[in-house]
Amino acid sequence: MFKKLLYSLLKYLDKYTQERRQHLEKLNDLDRFNDNFAKSVSWDPIVKSRIRSAFCTKRMVKSKKNRISFKPSIQFLFFILVFIGVPSLTLVKVFVIAGYSMNEKWPLIPFMSVFFLIGIPYCLWELKPIYFDLNKREFIKKSSHGYEKISIDHIHALQMIKDRSHLDENYYELNVVLKNHDRLNIICHSNGKSIRKQAKELSEILSIPFWDMTT
């Protein structure tokens, strides 16, 4: 019993030591940004793993209204077509047009419901408005609490981080870092090249630093 407790304690101390060493290495690596503020904010992922995307979900669009928006990409629209459009048309055909009996119809209901249960919440999450209003100098994002409006003057930097999923896939986040040390996510998916390109352009437009911890 004592040996087992001692082994567990040593294992915990070893894990703590490794995590502490990794944390210090990350802090030292932050020197590349020449900004001490970078060491005072979190570098942990914001977006939960279950709502991350394995493809580019948003594209950055500059409108005539002097607004920079993050709108659904072609890949995301195709996803909506597959996961919501096709099942919807199938149900309409089976229940309305084909005129099958109820005994023939009911097995399709739980099968098609899977597509809606996955597709609809994911689409609602990705379709939330996110944009920078350059005239009003505001960053606006729709959340579960309503619209969050942050003055662009309160944004210190853009932060790009990488995380690995349980399937060993890389995911990338682009976050705004506020001067009060809070962070808000803009986009998150597996296409790091796309996010990096958008972040560099956005950084230049807003005249704020871009912290890229993925290269």
Task: Using CB atoms within 10 Å of the CB of residue 198, give its burial: 0 to 12 exposed, 13 to 18 middle, 19+ buried.
Answer: buried
Per-residue pLDDT tens over the stretch 74-103: 777 777 777 666 666 666 666 655 555 545
Q: Which of 90, 123, 156 is the last residue of a domain?
A: 123
Among 82, 32, 53, 16, which residue's Cα sits nearest to residue 212?
Answer: 32
First vs last C-alpha separation in the chain = 47
17 is a domain residue: no
Cα separation, 140 vs 86, in Å, equals 33
Residue 85: the pLDDT is: 63
- Which pairs count as long-range contacts for 99-106, CB under 8 Å and 24+ apart, including other chains? none
Identify whether residues 139 and 204 lie together within a single domain. yes
Q: Residues in the chain with pLDDT < 70?
A: 1-28, 49-55, 83-127, 143-145, 165-168
Identify whether residues 119 and 180 lie together within a single domain. no
35 is a domain residue: no
33 is a domain residue: no
Strand ranges, E, within 152-201: 155-164, 170-178, 183-189
Q: Are 159 and 174 in contact (CB under 8 A)?
A: yes
The CATH number assigned to the domain holding 59 equals 2.30.29
Strand ranges, E, within the chain: 58-62, 67-72, 130-133, 138-143, 146-151, 155-164, 170-178, 183-189, 210-212
Identify whether residues 177 and 135 lie together within a single domain. yes
26 is a domain residue: no
Backbone angles phi, psi at 90, to 5 degrees: -65, -45
Residue 191: the pLDDT is: 87
Identify whether residues 51 and 156 lie together within a single domain. yes
Identify whether residues 64 and 168 lie together within a single domain. yes
Domain enclosing residue 147, as ranges? 40-75+131-212
Identify whether residues 119 and 149 lie together within a single domain. no
Residue 205: the pLDDT is: 94
Q: Are 184 and 139 in contact (CB under 8 A)?
A: yes
Residue 18: the pLDDT is: 62
Q: Which of 123, 152, 185 is the last residue of a domain?
A: 123
Identify whether residues 187 and 147 lie together within a single domain. yes
Give how many domains the chain has, as a whole number. Answer: 2
Using DSSP, state whether 197 is helix, strand or coil.
helix
Identify whether residues 111 and 151 lie together within a single domain. no
Residues with Cβ < 8 Å from 191, sequence gap 6 or more?
55, 56, 172
Residues with Cβ < 8 Å from 188, sequence gap 6 or more?
46, 47, 51, 52, 53, 171, 172, 173, 174
Q: Which two tokens stand for residue 84?
A: 């919501």
Q: Are 128 and 180 in contact (CB under 8 A)?
A: no
User: Model pTM?
Assistant: 0.68
